[in-house]
């Protein structure tokens, strides 16, 4: 072999190694999750699964307090959402909230020292709305969260701001430049798995009832035909679903017909309720809270942090791998006061 050939063999080997560096190291686990012959499989990297399992351990169980004794609202001064708890349950709920949201900062993360009734710290105002949001999820969105339910820990995991809130991508991904207007896409964006798909599917689809379905339902196009850009938007959202839950597309679809509900696993119906739930959480809670948050809590474009699928799921098909979070916390079960929320929950399944 001449020197030149040898060098070029070496270079191409190095180039192949560099290209493959983005891939995950085999062997992979493949599990059949659909009927034989439908190629519905879940492919997992066992090393990533082990790390995710370690990161999704539920918190230590805490004492929820005795239901006996006087009610919090009869003893305390300024309780608007947890007033029906007994005083013991109320105190236990405060201790739990502190462990779930601000374990290092303690009670005074939300309270003025010496005056628990004072509402002048913004975090207390946010926390009250968050209590209502959690009650809303557990009471009105059982079609998604079942009896597993959620607590503050599901999203917060011991952090005052959840690690997986959604901010609009940095302006670089959205801007136009001298080559033309990127229209919010056409630049490998981490928010959509480094594809050049539209970079902000959460604002587009999960803060308003935007149409996600793009496939035709008749052999020939009739009436409305979805644009290529709308189709790419749907795929961007689907990339978020898959990464948020740590699953392949086959967890919710038979890829021979993405649109067909008959051929989809039941998880897709759960996901459909999840889409409506997340829209409700953003329009009813996080977006209105944008007015209360200080500037350092807003995103790079001055936008409000949003709830996305990843905020609860954090890479697991069920948050904390299905640990029942809400059952022992009566304060987080029923809605105290949010009139609009009950109307938002749909009764029917998708057609
Ligand atoms: C993450 C924010 C947060 C943390 C941390 C927190 N609280 Fe609270 N606290 C609240 C909210 C919100 C209310 C109002 C609840 C309502 O309106 O029903 C409240 C109300 C109270 C009240 C009622 C005051 C009154 O008279 O109206 C007491 C007492 C209290 N908290 C004690 C504590 C203690 C003790 C701790 C620490 C173990 C603590 N809180 C930690 C958010 C918090
Ligand atoms: C579905 C996910 C979710 C759940 C459940 C949740 N939060 Fe939050 N929380 C968020 C998001 C997202 C933010 C970022 C602020 C925003 O979007 O308004 C936040 C912000 C906060 C903040 C403001 C922190 C800061 O430093 O600015 C407090 C306090 C808070 N949450 C308390 C709670 C409490 C208490 C509970 C349980 C009763 C709770 N949260 C449950 C998603 C959640
Ligand atoms: C967690 C469940 C879930 C995962 C994972 C998922 N999808 Fe979806 N997908 C849905 C739901 C739910 C809808 C329907 C939304 C609606 O009806 O508003 C949908 C709709 C679609 C549509 C539009 C169908 C139509 O009627 O036009 C396509 C295409 C699609 N998904 C492709 C994908 C691809 C590709 C992947 C993998 C990258 C994927 N999906 C992963 C739940 C999922
Ligand atoms: C407020 C927290 C929360 C958010 C946000 C959330 N989920 Fe879930 N999700 C849950 C909980 C809790 C369960 C477990 C329910 C159960 O035990 O059956 C679940 C279960 C699911 C399942 C069933 C998984 C299985 O293997 O059976 C799917 C699919 C799913 N979620 C999709 C989504 C999608 C898609 C989104 C975003 C549109 C989303 N979720 C947002 C809390 C959430």
Task: Determine the pLDDT at residue 341.
Answer: 42
Q: Is the pLDDT of residue 2 over 80?
A: no
Closest atom of ligand 3 to 350 CA is: 17
Residue located nearest, by CA, to atom 32 of ligand 2 = 127
How do residues 91-113 score in pLDDT, each as one tens digit? Answer: 999 999 999 999 999 999 999 99
Q: Tell me if 138 CB under 6 Å of ligand 2.
A: no
CA of 168 to the centre of ligand 1 (A): 32
Reading the block at residue 58, the tokens are 């539920």
Region 256-265: what's the mean pLDDT? 93
Residue located nearest, by CA, to atom 14 of ligand 1 = 79
Q: Tell me if 245 CB under 6 Å of ligand 3.
A: yes
The confidence band for 339, taking pLDDT boundaries of 50, 70 and 90, is very low
Closest atom of ligand 3 to 274 CA is: 12
Q: Tell me if 286 CB under 6 Å of ligand 2.
A: yes
% of the chain residues with pLDDT over 90:
66
> Which residue among 163, 274, 283 has the greatest number of ligand 4 atoms within 8 angstroms of its CB, and so is best to mutate?
274
Q: Tell me if 134 CB under 6 Å of ligand 2.
A: yes
- Judged by average pLDDT, the poorest of 20-29, 275-284, 333-342 is 333-342
Task: Determine the pLDDT at residue 51.
Answer: 87
Q: What distance in Å separates the CA atoms of residue 101 and residue 155, rounded to the nearest whole number?
A: 9
Q: Which residues contact 123 (CB under 8 A, 6 or more apart)?
A: 109, 110, 160
Cα angle: 45, vertex 48, 50; to 5 degrees: 110
Among candidate residues 60, 59, 55, 157, the one with its CA nearest the CA of residue 102: 157
The confidence band for 336, taking pLDDT boundaries of 50, 70 and 90, is confident
Residues 309, 43 contacting (CB under 8 angstroms)? no
Residue 349 neighbours by CB distance under 10 Å: 10
């Amino acid at each position: 072999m001449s020197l030149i050939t040898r060098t070029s063999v070496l270079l191409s080997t190095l180039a192949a190694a560099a290209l493959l560096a983005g891939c995950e190291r085999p062997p992979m686990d493949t599990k059949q999750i659909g009927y034989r012959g439908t190629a519905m499989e879940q492919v997992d990297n066992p090393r990533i699964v082990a790390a995710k399992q370690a990161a999704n351990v539920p918190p230590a169980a805490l004492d929820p307090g005795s239901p006996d004794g006087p009610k919090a609202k009869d003893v305390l001064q300024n309780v608007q959402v947890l007033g029906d708890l007994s005083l013991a349950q109320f105190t236990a709920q405060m201790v739990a909230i502190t462990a779930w949201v601000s374990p290092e900062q303690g009670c005074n993360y939300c309270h003025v020292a010496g005056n628990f009734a004072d509402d002048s710290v913004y975090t207390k105002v946010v926390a009250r709305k968050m209590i209502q949001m959690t009650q809303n999820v557990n009471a009105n969105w059982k079609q998604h969260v079942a009896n597993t339910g959620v607590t503050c820990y599901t999203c917060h995991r011991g952090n005052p701001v959840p690690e997986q809130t959604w901010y609009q991508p940095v302006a670089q991904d959205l801007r136009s430049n001298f080559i033309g207007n990127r229209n919010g896409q056409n630049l490998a964006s981490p928010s959509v798995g480094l594809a050049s798909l539209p970079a902000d599917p959460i604002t587009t689809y999960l803060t308003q009832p935007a149409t996600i379905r793009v496939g035709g339902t008749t052999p020939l196009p009739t009436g409305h035909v979805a644009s290529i850009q709308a189709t790419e938007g749907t795929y961007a959202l689907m990339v978020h679903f898959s990464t948020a839950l740590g699953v392949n597309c086959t967890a919710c679809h038979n890829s021979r017909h993405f649109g067909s509900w008959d051929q989809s696993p039941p998880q897709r119906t759960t996901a459909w309720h999840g889409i409506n739930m997340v829209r409700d959480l953003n329009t009813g809670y996080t977006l209105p809270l944008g007015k209360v948050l200080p500037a350092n809590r807003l995103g790079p474009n001055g936008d409000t942090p949003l709830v996305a699928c990843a905020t609860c799921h954090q890479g697991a098909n069920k948050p904390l791998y299905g640990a029942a979070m809400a059952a022992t916390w009566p304060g987080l079960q029923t809605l105290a006061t949010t009139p609009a929320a009950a109307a938002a929950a749909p009764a029917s399944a998708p057609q």
